[in-house]
Amino acid sequence: MNHILLIDFGSTYTKITAVDIDNEIVLGTARGITTVETDIMNGLNQAIDALFLKTGKLKFSKVLGCSSAAGGLKMVAVGLVPELTAEAAKRAALGAGAKIMGVYGNELNEYEIQEIAQLQPEIILLAGGTNGGNKEVILHNARMLTTLGKDIPVIVAGNKSVAPQVVKTLLEAMTEVVHTENVMPKLNELNIEPARETIRSVFLRRIVEAKGLNKANQFVDDVVMPTPAAVLKAAELLSKGTEYEPGLGDLMVVDIGGATTDVYSIAKGDPTKTNVALRGLPEPFAKRTVEGDLGMRYSATALFKAAGAKRIADYANVSAEDVEAYVEKVEANIEYLPQNEIEKKVEIAMGKACTSLAVERHVGQLETIFTCFGSAFVQKGKDLSDVKTVVGTGGVIVHHEQPKEILKGAAYSESTPEMLKPECPKYLIDEEYIMASMGLLGEVYPDVAVRMMKKYIVRG
Amino acid sequence: MENNKVKVILGVIGADCHAVGNKILNYAFTSAGFEVVNLGVLVPQEEFVNAAIETDAKAILVASLYGHGEIDCRGLRERCRESGLGDILLYVGGNLVVGKTDFTEVHKKFIEMGYDRVYEPGILPDQVVIDLKNDLGL
């Protein structure tokens, strides 16, 4: 019998999923508290004991893990023009599953260096200049980074014409400096895959140990990637399928948490309407965005500000005062759960607002331009109006009674026709909360991972 | 691929979507040995500037065909100076204004806006290439 254990060391909980590969079933899931401060194995053992109570003792042929423990993979991205190489660097880091602490453009100054030192990133991604383009700024920034007073791994993904000098400069102060392909080799050409891979290998080599995750090594074969990267991988698998197992086609994934809302899309996002010109930086096929101000608990007040009382009140069909009162309650006590009908409605509305706003920021927008020959349209970002599947995952959605109501925020709305959101999607729920695990499983058994997702991620 | 070709930024400014001349200019400058970073049509000023910064371009070539050139082109020089591009070469050409305005006036107006060269309709790309090479000392 071939059993595999998949572990997600989350910021709060260590979630484990035991999978029977031969029968393609989930044997059981369980969770313990993430104990990264003391010994990561304590929480993991707790989860395993809980699992074995349900399943009986199991033997595992392979144990794989992903992690967002201890604040996730904290990164800073540095580029030249904020809308170009700095944005490309940010997208590479997001795609690698990082938590972005800051994005910097142009020449770094002393204040920004102090700020970066305080942010304590675990990896810095340094870009700037197209190949053969601007050289001065990335060299300047490399020199500035040597004054950080901290030994932080730096990945260099900028103008290749000066990459050797940039690496040499950084090596004066840093032990680990890795260079990879430019995130923007030509203007408006996005090339984030090599940087993503490099981030992942640095994560494996350096961060796993620094975070004390290696204490689990006797038990876990590999902590292979940050959790968001595992979810992105799962989404890609579910969308594209494999050679032997067809996927579901273009899709989006929404993951709402207490502090942030993550949105993933697997789709090219080309214009679906006629007479549309594409502008701006090309979009990655597999795209992840994170909204730090949209969340159900830690970010409740920020969500309230971003969405406005009226939007949430309208969704819930209650008064703005009710919304305000509830937001205050949950922000003060993050363990609080709705106690009555009104609070339940507000809770759903908050989730829907998280989904709606996060998806609006993720998708492309259509702008009408009036020319002498009538109106034309300019599209910036991905047109996701033809996406037919929206998947909900993450604690808030998975444990909710009415997850579909929350996910409906992802759909196109007539009140904001410029937002290219899915027009008539179906909603799937990751009921067993296995997406991150399936991303991990996909590393070894992609066909099984696709089939299991199709079986366990069901219509909401 | 790295090469030592001089980079120039090309694009049709503002809400103008005349694409044919843009393709011809792209071809002409590429054949003349430049690396053309072509932004295409409907290009806001900001994108010309950003592209020039990131690619270290030596000239920005602006086209405007639909008659609103004066509104669209005004302020580009100031924006370049503000962004550290300083006195980068700025060329402009096309049907810059509506109607039959005397070209010397149009020329004067655009020179005052900070453009280094201003071209009237009917000028062939070859002439612009010669001017660009001269201005860049190539």
Q: Which amino acid is at A39?
A: D
Average pLDDT on B111-121 reads: 95
C-alpha span between A351 and A256 (Å, rounded)? 7
Looking at the structure, do residues A279 and A365 belong to the same domain, yes or no? yes
Interatomic CA distance for residues A53 and A70, integer angstroms: 28
pTM: 0.88
ipTM for the assembly: 0.82
Q: Is residue A223 within a helix (H) or strand (E), and if so which, with residue range?
A: strand A222-226
Is the confidence at residue B1, as pLDDT, over 50? no
Question: Cα A64 to chain center, whole Å?
Answer: 19
A105 touching B, CB under 8 A? no
Residue B63 — pLDDT band, cuts 50, 70, 90? very high
Tokens of A84: 């170009």
Residue A45 lies in a domain: yes
Measure in Å the smallest separation between the Cα of A213 and chain B Cα atoms. Answer: 39
Asked if A456 and A19 count as a contact pair (C-beta separation under 8 A), the reply is no
Would A307 be classed as within a structural domain?
A: no
- Cβ neighbors of A183 (< 8 A, separation 6 or more) are A79, A85, A88, A89, A91, A92, A125, A127, A157, A158, A190, A191, A192, A195
The residues, ordered by sequence, that sit 6+ positions from A363 with a Cβ below 8 Å of its Cβ are A265, A381, A382, A383, A384, A419, A420, A421
Residues A30 and A84 both lie in one domain: no
- Residue that finishes a domain, picked among A173, A190, A206: A206
Using pLDDT thresholds of 50, 70 and 90, give the confidence band for residue B120: very high
A11 and A132 inside one domain: no
Q: What tokens appear for A309 in the block?
A: 């009382």
| Structural domain count of chain A | 3
Residue at which a domain ends, from A206, A229, A263:
A206
Q: Is residue A211 part of a domain?
A: no
Asked if A125 and A256 sit in the same domain, the reply is no
Distance CA A276, CA A272 (A): 9
Q: How confident is the model at residue B115 (pLDDT cuts 50, 70, 90)?
A: very high
Residue A437 lies in a domain: yes
Residue reference for tokens 């509104």: B71
Note whether A270 and A196 are same-domain residues.
no
In the stretch 41-60 of chain A, residues with CB closer than 8 A to chain B read none
Q: Which residue among A31, A60, A89 closes a domain? A: A60
Residues A96 and A149 in one domain: yes
* CA-based nearest residue in chain A for residue B2: A132
Q: What is the pLDDT of residue B3?
A: 63
Retrieve residue A336's tokens. 């609080």
In chain B the domains, ranked by start, together with CATH numbers, are 13-136 (3.40.50.280)
Same domain, A11 and A153: no
Q: Is residue A226 part of a domain?
A: no
Range of the domain at A16: 1-60
Q: From CA B74, how far away is CA B71, in angstroms rounded?
A: 6
User: Are residues A196 and A143 both part of a single domain?
Assistant: yes
Amino acid at B19: A
Query: Cβ–Cβ of B54/A133 closer than 8 Å?
Result: yes
Shared domain for A194 and A255, answered yes or no, is no
Task: Please provide the average confidence, as pLDDT, over all residues in chain B.
Answer: 92
**Which residues of A are less than 8 Å from B15 in CB distance?**
369-371, 376
* The pair of three-digit structure tokens given for residue B72, joined into one six-digit string: 């669209």
Distances in whole angstroms, Cα of residue B58 to Cα of each of A413, B7, B128, B133: 45, 6, 15, 11
In angstroms, the CA A155 to CA A81 distance is 18
Residues A53 and A99 in one domain: no
User: Which residues 200-219 of chain A have a CB within 8 Å of chain B?
Assistant: none
Output the tens digit of pLDDT for each of chain A's 460 residues: 799 999 999 878 899 999 999 999 999 999 998 887 788 888 999 999 999 999 999 999 999 999 888 778 999 999 999 999 999 999 999 999 999 999 999 999 999 999 999 999 999 999 999 998 999 999 999 999 999 999 999 999 999 999 999 999 999 999 999 999 999 999 989 999 999 999 999 988 887 777 777 777 777 887 889 999 999 999 999 999 999 999 999 999 999 988 899 999 999 999 998 888 888 889 999 999 999 899 998 899 999 999 999 999 999 999 999 999 999 999 888 888 899 999 999 999 999 999 999 999 999 999 987 776 678 888 999 999 999 999 999 888 998 889 999 999 999 999 999 999 999 999 999 999 999 999 999 999 999 999 999 999 988 7
Taking Cα atoms as reference points, which of A407, A400, A413 lies closest to residue A426? A407
Q: Which two tokens stand for residue B109?
A: 């107006």
- State the Cα–Cα distance between residues A430 and A393, nearest whole angstrom: 5
- CATH code, domain carrying A157: 3.40.50.2300
C-alpha separations of B128 from A234, A372, A452, B63, B133 in Å: 53, 27, 63, 12, 9
In degrees and rounded to multiples of 5, residue A384 shows phi and psi of -110, 20
pLDDT of residue B87: 87
